[in-house]
Amino acid sequence: MSVAGKLQIRPTHRVCVLHLPDGVDLDLPPEVAMTEDPAEATAVVLFASDRRELRERAGPLLDAARRDALAWIAYPKARQLGTDLTRDNLWESLQAQDIKPVRQVAIDAVWSGLRFRPA
């Protein structure tokens, strides 16, 4: 299955990818409409390599999750890129934001994705 398929991104989605690292390919369908504005997106994928980046970057992703758009946070797998993020502390840090994790996928050898929806 393609990465886009794992992320449940369909050709009809309007996608915003925030802070995509070099070398990461989401393999999006060519029909997908891209936008730089997360408020216009029906799917938002945010990359954060540590807790500081998550705190600084999470706002648009939280808004997307609250309106029940596809909302994914991509974070490094354990012991990759010197991260201090894990699935558990990622969830704990967002628990008070009225969203909940509903699905986890592997994006590639370095990155995992965690989908959030309204709590």
**CATH of 3-118 among 3.40.50.150, 3.30.390.10, 3.40.50.300, 3.40.718.10:** 3.40.50.150
Taking the C-alpha atoms of residue 52 and residue 54, their distance in angstroms, rounded to an integer, is: 5
Residue linked to tokens 């980046």: 53
Taking the C-alpha atoms of residue 82 and residue 18, their distance in angstroms, rounded to an integer, is: 20
At position 71, the amino acid (one-letter code) is A
**pTM of the predicted model as reported, rounded to 2 decimal places:** 0.93
At position 82, the amino acid (one-letter code) is G
Q: What is the pLDDT of residues 60-112, one digit of tens each?
A: 999 999 999 999 999 999 877 888 988 888 878 788 788 999 999 999 999 99
Helical (H) or strand (E) element with 82: none
